[in-house]
């Protein structure tokens, strides 16, 4: 078992998260590290730190788009923006947080006849 791990904090709306997602699994596999996915709301981080999305600041936005294109070319992955970018990912990220929670498996054979909602 690997003692090394990489925590990948991501937001589905982040192009940088997408680029990292295209590379991290192979990097972790090559190094024997465990990849741990950690969903987070990037907009919440911006708000909590008094920062703004780079696309909200014209000079930052232009540079970021150029930089993202460079990395996509370097990694050999497609990079296409949603025409409605940036988008509100709150509902998607809530689903990711819920999906990341540990669950307890209930074997179907232990359920009452008629399923989990049977009276």
Is 53 in the active site?
A: no
Buried b (16+ CB within 10 A) or exposed e, 18-51: bbbbbebeeebeeeeeebeeebbbbbeeeeeeee
CA distances for 35 relative to 56, 72, 93, angstroms: 31, 21, 18
Q: Of 14, 17, 31, 109, which residue is the catalytic one?
A: 14
Residues serving a catalytic function are: 14
């Amino acid at each position: 078992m690997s003692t090394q791990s990489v925590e990948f904090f991501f937001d589905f709306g982040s192009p940088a998260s997408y680029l990292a997602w295209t590379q991290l699994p192979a990097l972790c596999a090559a190094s024997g590290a465990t990849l741990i996915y950690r969903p987070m709301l990037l907009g919440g981080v911006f708000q909590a730190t008094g920062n703004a999305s780079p696309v909200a600041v014209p000079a930052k936005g232009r540079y970021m788009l150029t930089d993202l294109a460079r990395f996509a070319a370097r990694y050999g992955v497609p990079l296409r923006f949603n025409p409605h970018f940036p988008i509100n990912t709150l509902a998607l990220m809530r689903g990711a947080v819920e999906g990341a929670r540990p669950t307890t498996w209930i074997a179907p054979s232990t359920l009452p006849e008629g399923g989990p909602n049977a009276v």
